[in-house]
Amino acid sequence: LNVTMFSPPLHRQRHQFVIDFVERNKPKKVGDLGCGECSLLKKLRFHREVELLVGVDINGTQVHKNMHGLAPLSTDYLQPTYNQLCIELYQGSVTQKDARLRGFDLLTSIELIEHLTLADVKSFSEVVFGYMTPAVAIISTPNSEFNPLFPGLAGFRHSDHKFEWSRAEFRTWALEVCQDFGYEVEFTGVGQAPSGLQERVGFCSQIGVFRRLRARDDSNVLLEDVFSYTLVSSLNLYHYFSIVWLLFPLAFSEGRPPEKVKLISYNLIFYIA
């Protein structure tokens, strides 16, 4: 794949799309599904409105290798904020439920679904939209109609891709998700085609921004929480393995014993390998 075709590079444009969304909408709980090398998380961690940042990937080794880039910097200690930032990284599959990923303001899935079989995409839809029920989900995937513009590309853009969808195919899946789980979707993308071709081929990466239509049903949440306390269910529900848990420095405010709070927060940095 000729990555020099885009400026800035396509992967950066995809992440910038999420960053722009976060800047405009200020979500507090953000999760990145298929976080890979944690590069989106590394950018999101500088958005101080975010209080909980969670990454999940099936490849635990990759996450482990890259997690150190998420640790607090010396500038975080010099300028602590009043919002506590907590980062959690999990090894797990997005085709399986985990209660700790429920109730987020924003979940992102950037260039992930095309790595799943179609049967797993069905599980992904049920898990993300039916169980995790984020207020907003941003899903990106290659647009196959753009492929003829890549010189010499035969087949898929990556050997691990199980499919690459046209805009119509992406739309069909997205609208079905909306109907089944009560969302609305807006279609957009990044990676503009050369002038004159945009309408015909669309964006290189197509993006769906899904918004939940109804408020989350709290009685449902309670029912599922109760169910999760049984041993078998809890194993089923909590099978993501926590790799790292980081707490960031917190500024002390009036009414708190300053030195103690400062000391505790500065020392609450855990690496659980």
The dihedrals phi and psi of 189, each to the nearest 5 degrees, come to: 175, 180
Query: Angle, nearest 10°, between helix axes 167-181 and 118-125?
Result: 40
| Sole residue written with tokens 């169910």 | 227
Q: Looking at 31-39, 67-75, 163-171, 183-191, which segment touches ligand SAM (CB under 6 A)?
A: 31-39
CA–CA dist 176, 172 (Å, integer) = 6
Supply the DSSP string of 67-98, one letter for each residue. Answer: GGGGSPPHHHHHS-BSSPPEEEEEE--TTS--
We find the least distance from the C-beta atom of residue 222 to ligand SAM, in angstroms, to be: 27
Q: Segment contacting ligand SAM (CB under 6 A): 43-51, 92-100, 165-173, 201-209?
A: 92-100
49: helix, strand or coil: coil
Distance, in Å, from the CA atom of 123 to the CA atom of 98, rounded to the nearest integer, reads 13
Which one among 36, 134, 142, 189 touches ligand SAM, defined by CB under 6 A? 36
* Residues 49-68 within binding reach of ligand SAM (CB under 6 A): 56-59, 62
Q: What is d(CA 188, CA 26) in angstroms, rounded to the nearest whole number?
A: 20
Q: Does 110 bind ligand SAM (CB under 6 A)?
A: yes
Strand order from edge to edge, sheet including 136-142: 183-190, 205-212, 136-142, 106-110, 29-33, 52-57, 86-91, 241-247, 269-271
Looking at the Cβ atoms of 44 and 112, the one nearer to ligand SAM is 112
CB atoms within 10 A of CB 60: 15
- Pick the binder of ligand SAM from 115, 157, 162, 212 (CB under 6 A): 115
From residue 9 to residue 28, the character string flagging contacts with ligand SAM as x (rule: CB under 6 A) and all else as - is: --x--x--------------
Q: How far is the CB of 94 from ligand SAM (least distance, A)?
A: 4
Nearer to ligand SAM, 115 or 122 (CB): 115
Q: Which of 13, 66, 95, 205 binds ligand SAM (CB under 6 A)?
A: 95
Judged by beta carbon, residue 14 or residue 102, the one nearer ligand SAM is: 14
Site string for ligand SAM, 232-271 (x = CB under 6 A): ----------------------------------------
Match 């290798």 to its residue by tokens: 65
**C-alpha–C-alpha distance, residues 259 and 81, integer Å:** 15
Q: Which of 93, 125, 147, 265 binds ligand SAM (CB under 6 A)?
A: 93
Binding site residues, ligand SAM, CB under 6 A? 11, 14, 34-36, 39-40, 56-59, 62, 93-95, 110-112, 115-116
